[in-house]
Amino acid sequence: MKALIQRVSQASVTVGGELIGSIGPGLLLFLAVEAEDNDTTLLKLVHKVAHYRLFSDSNGKMNLNVQQAGGAILVVSQFTLAADTQSGLRPSFTPAAAPRVAEQYYLQFIQQLSALNIPVQCGRFAADMQVSLVNDGPVTFMLHS
């Protein structure tokens, strides 16, 4: 499982011109589920995302996690992050989980974050989404579980 997280001052996602999720300050998280992922990798990544310190404290150091900073998370499924790009000029999506499995883990990921009392908004699985963001920093990290 992979999560590309970006610290944002705001982010939103629309589908077919309809706004389906938006946040103010917090994290925009692109989530990819891989074929070998399981409940353990899911919980490990949820914990890492929830506790990853990338917000500034009163001394300007990245010491606060999203909850401590009073932020929210916008979760967007993005299977292309699971692509194998090591060779050739076309990505291979063999490492990605099957859509049915990926959707289940995507929904569980959102539920687990919400259970930690973090405000969570989300995109729509497998939809053609338009994502807007204002990257704060910029601060961007790729997390793996």
Calculate ∠ Cα 23-29-32, nearest 5°. 145
Q: CA-CA distance, 3 to 28, in Å (whole number)?
A: 10
- What backbone phi and psi angles, to 5 degrees, belong to 106? -60, -50
Q: CA-CA distance, 26 to 6, in Å (whole number)?
A: 8
Catalytic sites, residue numbers: 78-80
C-beta separation of 19 from 67 below 8 A = no
Contacts of 97 (CB under 8 A, 6+ apart): 33, 34, 35, 37, 79, 82, 105
